[in-house]
Chain A
């Protein structure tokens, strides 16, 4: 790693990520100044352009790639103006419901054609319109909006060029050279097609950042950079205009920037590796450089997904395993074959099916053509069961102390099967509510939304002449995510055993005990916890319940269509929602106390795997992961061991086996419990300690105390 990257990293750890209210101020100001514009989409484009034209450019020392939020504070007058907008004026604008970003735009289009090329396309499409046809007139307005937004983007880049020149005039000669080059690059891209690796890197970052800032969105992913950047890298290497170290430094700079402009506790990144449409593994030198950047940045972002194939080069498998065994929280390992198969089954052609993207944590969307709402909504799998038992949700923040009576007596289910059937019906009801809610969001966006700038980069909005919110994108899926699989399955196994097979307690007594948070019944809780096999220990009696529930989830989601007429694809990951949903969930029959976190991801619940990671992997892969495009995360946490090479090799074998068995995604956290405990006591010394959570990475010291405890509790696989 270069000293530049070390300095950038130190500066980030000192300052944290930087945000600004400038975009909102500029957006609001534009909105209020364009009341005479009759067509809302054009007005939104004007606001987007106003943000890009007005945002203060800022370039930090050492930065080679530019584009980030300004650190300046608003003036008092500006603050007043903003407050007025937020409190009063913005109410006149329609709220944006549903999900934003969580996608990768068509970077290849951007790099190959530049904004000039996109404008030319628009001109061609426009020239074909028959403006006497009402729907085509509407398209004309859309194109007009797109052009306004694109002009804003051009200005944005030009302003960075000017700013770089201003700084260069005051800088020492070495930095001045760098700044003049930055200025030159910002004048060429994204306006024109990229002609070098450096230009390509600047173009993708500037446009990504511009999409965030000007639309007040976060979490655009970078897609598959080791593919679309490769021609530029190879050409520069051949010309001798770049070497490996230079490319590595630019990549490291890019990776640092994610941290600078993205707030904490989210997830953003890109994917590397995998196969092309003909089934050939594409791993290349850029794959290696991107993976090595993990060691250089050592921060929560970017979340790098490695698309693992059996035939992937051995050195890349080793590199990934070494990174993880060093305690780094990236890369997350994705099963290329399983996910590609899922995409094929979802109707994508092979050339697109291989270009999936984890859209923050582990949710799959096709790159370049998505308007997918991921993790929408999160559904608590224990909720339908507690509904049946008459156990109400807890109040948020009140913790485990609250106990309550039952809201109703559970019905009499003569056998376990009838209880399970009632559960499934109740789950179906909960999903239906979720579907109506998400479709309502999509509908609202259809009538009141519109993102002309984004639409320029997402296929096939321009070809169709339709904004992304109106169905212009090729894929308009919604992906609900079901949280707490392990808790549900473990709970059902307990009820089956102690209510039905070897009756020790009636269902209504059980409901009382759970509502009281096991008050005075610790013996019962421990019996439930320790005397019934738990999911994650390779025991079919309980694992088969997971097979049944996940199949039901798949079938239920297949029943529904989105408002824009596309598919629902389920997922089983949680981000931080295992904690949030756990907080409002009463005690459960798996031995979990009230308000405790639910299991993270799709593996065993915290502290319940007694047989180690192999058994956890076997349990977690007994059900079909293929249709779960909404994402699956299996977390494994290991204690650090002495012989790192042996450990890395075993980790590699463990991952290979998980992949062979059809596992979707696996993420590994090698941490020392002592270090976590030390970080709890001395957070100031552990600001860069990153841990893996439910599909993403976060700074340990920034987590809530509850979540820190949960991380520590998560089973450590001893490997003595």
Chain B
């Protein structure tokens, strides 16, 4: 059986495709957007998250760790991430859930079994499954098998991908995919490299190829102040999107600063820490500007 690593299986997802859905978050990503809302999905391996405010100081983790990654000090505690192998023994004994393992290896069938628990809701709402992440296409066989099994059960299947792949890999998932959701973050390639670590060339090319295939598509832009919150940028993206005949709609997703706790828990720097959520007025204005390209536009 094919297996893979996921961080979360989120039920009652209502903004990731039509109807009531379950979203499976894959772990591992080939982009590094500095504002990412889901830092726990970036690395393809298990990681320990630490939430110190939940700690009750019971000390169980000191005893359980085989690598002395948790160390008791006179004036508190220390955690040596470099020693940690994310074995999860400490998390098992941490009833306060101050220590949590991000990332769980599952078989495709296990994932689908869990997703199918909400089948009654997919039936009333014409919903289904969405693969997200992280980047689902990095674990291609796992993603394909989950979608194939879901399709067999009559579920609507969707995938959220950054599309930063050779076209062949994207094309190979389409036989089990009803809907593709992809981000266009910036049109300018240099800026795109700067903000996400990769070129947008393949992304834009893949979007055109998807259009040629006629696969239903939703394009989204995470609206990040200082990155792409200008009328010019959004207008450019919207005009690009307007050329794609398979586009269902274009959606602006407001950046929110709520991920900083997750970065802290993983011991990661967060460059977007000081960025504020864009104002509602700005979202409304940019939505209107995008709509001038002659496409349907939504915003969160």
- The residue of chain A having its C-beta at the shortest distance from the C-beta of B58 within the complex is A523
* Contact present for B13 and A719 (CB under 8 Å): yes
CA distance A660 to B127 in the complex (A): 16
Query: Beta-carbon contacts of B114-125 to A below 8 Å, as 1s and 0s?
Result: 000110110111
Query: Beta-carbon contacts of A175-205 to B below 8 Å, as 1s and 0s?
Result: 0000000000000000000000000000000
A-chain residues with CB within 8 Å of residue B56 when the two chains form the complex: 522-523, 526
**A615: interface (CB < 8 Å):** yes
**A654: interface (CB < 8 Å):** yes
Give the total number of A-B pairs whose CB atoms are below 8 A apart: 81
**B298: interface (CB < 8 Å):** yes
Interchain residue pairs A-B with the least CB separation, the first 7 = A653-B125, A526-B95, A612-B12, A650-B14, A527-B95, A642-B300, A656-B124
**B60: interface (CB < 8 Å):** yes
Extra A-B contacts (4), CB below 8 Å, given A614-B117, A614-B118: A523-B95, A526-B96, A530-B96, A642-B300
**A618: interface (CB < 8 Å):** yes
Residue among A523, A529, A530 with most chain B CB within 10 A: A523
B-chain residues with CB within 8 Å of residue A661 when the two chains form the complex: 120
* Contact present for A653 and B19 (CB under 8 Å): yes
Query: Beta-carbon contacts of B1-40 to A below 8 Å, as 1s and 0s?
Result: 0000000001111110001100000000000000000000
* Contact present for B11 and A615 (CB under 8 Å): yes
B-chain residues with CB within 8 Å of residue A657 when the two chains form the complex: 120-121, 123-125
**B299: interface (CB < 8 Å):** yes
Given the contacts A522-B56, A523-B95, A653 and B121 also touching, CB distance less than 8 Å: yes
**B288: interface (CB < 8 Å):** no
B-chain residues with CB within 8 Å of residue A656 when the two chains form the complex: 124
Query: Beta-carbon contacts of A361-399 to B below 8 Å, as 1s and 0s?
Result: 000000000000000000000000000000000000000
**B97: interface (CB < 8 Å):** yes
**A613: interface (CB < 8 Å):** yes
- The residue of chain A having its C-beta at the shortest distance from the C-beta of B298 within the complex is A643
CA distance A618 to B125 in the complex (A): 16
Given the contacts A615-B117, A653-B121, A646 and B95 also touching, CB distance less than 8 Å: no
B283 to chain A, nearest CB (A): 9
Query: Beta-carbon contacts of A488-528 to B below 8 Å, as 1s and 0s?
Result: 00000000000000000000000000000000001100110
Report A's interface with B, CB cutoff 8 A: 522-523, 526-527, 529-531, 538, 611-615, 617-618, 641-643, 646-647, 649-650, 653-654, 656-657, 660-661, 717, 719-720
- The residue of chain B having its C-beta at the shortest distance from the C-beta of A661 within the complex is B120
* Contact present for B124 and A660 (CB under 8 Å): yes
Q: Among A523, A531, A614, which residue has its beta carbon within 8 angstroms of that of B121?
A: A614
* Contact present for A650 and B20 (CB under 8 Å): yes
* Contact present for B120 and A650 (CB under 8 Å): no
CA distance A649 to B124 in the complex (A): 11
* Contact present for B15 and A719 (CB under 8 Å): yes
Interface of A is mostly: helix
CA distance A538 to B95 in the complex (A): 21
Query: Beta-carbon contacts of B45-64 to A below 8 Å, as 1s and 0s?
Result: 00000000000101010000
CA distance A538 to B127 in the complex (A): 19
CA distance A391 to B298 in the complex (A): 56
Q: How large is the interface on B (under 10, 10 to 19, 20 to 34, 35 or more residues)?
A: 20 to 34
B-chain residues with CB within 8 Å of residue A612 when the two chains form the complex: 10-12
- The residue of chain A having its C-beta at the shortest distance from the C-beta of B22 within the complex is A614
B66 to chain A, nearest CB (A): 21
* Contact present for A538 and B15 (CB under 8 Å): no
B-chain residues with CB within 8 Å of residue A654 when the two chains form the complex: 12, 20, 121, 125
B29 to chain A, nearest CB (A): 18
* Contact present for A650 and B125 (CB under 8 Å): yes
A-chain residues with CB within 8 Å of residue B11 when the two chains form the complex: 611-612, 614-615
Q: Among A538, A646, A719, which residue has its beta carbon within 8 angstroms of that of B117?
A: A538
B102 to chain A, nearest CB (A): 16
CA distance A165 to B65 in the complex (A): 86
CA distance A523 to B117 in the complex (A): 32
* Contact present for A530 and B118 (CB under 8 Å): no
A-chain residues with CB within 8 Å of residue B300 when the two chains form the complex: 641-643
CA distance A611 to B11 in the complex (A): 6
B-chain residues with CB within 8 Å of residue A641 when the two chains form the complex: 14-15, 300
CA distance A642 to B20 in the complex (A): 16
**6 pairs of residues in contact across A and B, judged by CB atoms under 8 Å:** A522-B58, A526-B97, A614-B121, A642-B299, A642-B300, A650-B12
- The residue of chain B having its C-beta at the shortest distance from the C-beta of A616 within the complex is B12
A-chain residues with CB within 8 Å of residue B254 when the two chains form the complex: 642
CA distance A60 to B245 in the complex (A): 62
* Contact present for A646 and B14 (CB under 8 Å): yes
* Contact present for A530 and B14 (CB under 8 Å): no
CA distance A656 to B123 in the complex (A): 10
* Contact present for B124 and A720 (CB under 8 Å): no
A365 to chain B, nearest CB (A): 30
CA distance A716 to B58 in the complex (A): 29
* Contact present for B117 and A647 (CB under 8 Å): no
Q: Among A530, A613, A660, which residue has its beta carbon within 8 angstroms of that of B12?
A: A613
* Contact present for B124 and A653 (CB under 8 Å): yes
* Contact present for A530 and B95 (CB under 8 Å): yes
- The residue of chain B having its C-beta at the shortest distance from the C-beta of A647 within the complex is B14
* Contact present for A719 and B12 (CB under 8 Å): yes
Given the contacts A650-B19, A653-B125, A660 and B13 also touching, CB distance less than 8 Å: no
A-chain residues with CB within 8 Å of residue B20 when the two chains form the complex: 614, 650, 653-654
B-chain residues with CB within 8 Å of residue A611 when the two chains form the complex: 11
Query: Beta-carbon contacts of B247-258 to A below 8 Å, as 1s and 0s?
Result: 000000010000
* Contact present for A523 and B120 (CB under 8 Å): no
- The residue of chain A having its C-beta at the shortest distance from the C-beta of B10 within the complex is A612
A-chain residues with CB within 8 Å of residue B127 when the two chains form the complex: 653
CA distance A523 to B58 in the complex (A): 7
Query: Beta-carbon contacts of B94-133 to A below 8 Å, as 1s and 0s?
Result: 0111000000000000000000011011011101000000
B-chain residues with CB within 8 Å of residue A649 when the two chains form the complex: 125
B120 to chain A, nearest CB (A): 5
Residue among B60, B95, B97, B117 with most chain A CB within 10 A: B95
B-chain residues with CB within 8 Å of residue A617 when the two chains form the complex: 121
Given the contacts A523-B58, A530-B97, A653-B125, A614 and B12 also touching, CB distance less than 8 Å: yes
CA distance A615 to B22 in the complex (A): 11
Residue among B12, B117, B127 with most chain A CB within 10 A: B12
CA distance A469 to B298 in the complex (A): 61
Within 8 A of A (CB), among B110-169: 117-118, 120-121, 123-125, 127
B108 to chain A, nearest CB (A): 20
CA distance A485 to B184 in the complex (A): 49
CA distance A66 to B15 in the complex (A): 48
Residue among B13, B120, B123, B298 with most chain A CB within 10 A: B120
CA distance A646 to B299 in the complex (A): 11
CA distance A489 to B101 in the complex (A): 28
- The residue of chain A having its C-beta at the shortest distance from the C-beta of B19 within the complex is A653
Query: Beta-carbon contacts of B272-300 to A below 8 Å, as 1s and 0s?
Result: 00000000000000000000000000111
CA distance A656 to B96 in the complex (A): 37
CA distance A717 to B11 in the complex (A): 10
- The residue of chain A having its C-beta at the shortest distance from the C-beta of B251 within the complex is A643
A165 to chain B, nearest CB (A): 53
B38 to chain A, nearest CB (A): 11
A436 to chain B, nearest CB (A): 43
A-chain residues with CB within 8 Å of residue B13 when the two chains form the complex: 719
CA distance A641 to B15 in the complex (A): 10
* Contact present for A717 and B12 (CB under 8 Å): yes
A225 to chain B, nearest CB (A): 30
* Contact present for B60 and A523 (CB under 8 Å): yes
Within 8 A of A (CB), among B209-238: none
CA distance A297 to B121 in the complex (A): 33
- The residue of chain B having its C-beta at the shortest distance from the C-beta of A522 within the complex is B56
Given the contacts A523-B58, A653-B124, A657-B124, A719 and B14 also touching, CB distance less than 8 Å: yes
A131 to chain B, nearest CB (A): 63
CA distance A538 to B119 in the complex (A): 13
CA distance A287 to B285 in the complex (A): 38
B134 to chain A, nearest CB (A): 16
B-chain residues with CB within 8 Å of residue A529 when the two chains form the complex: 95
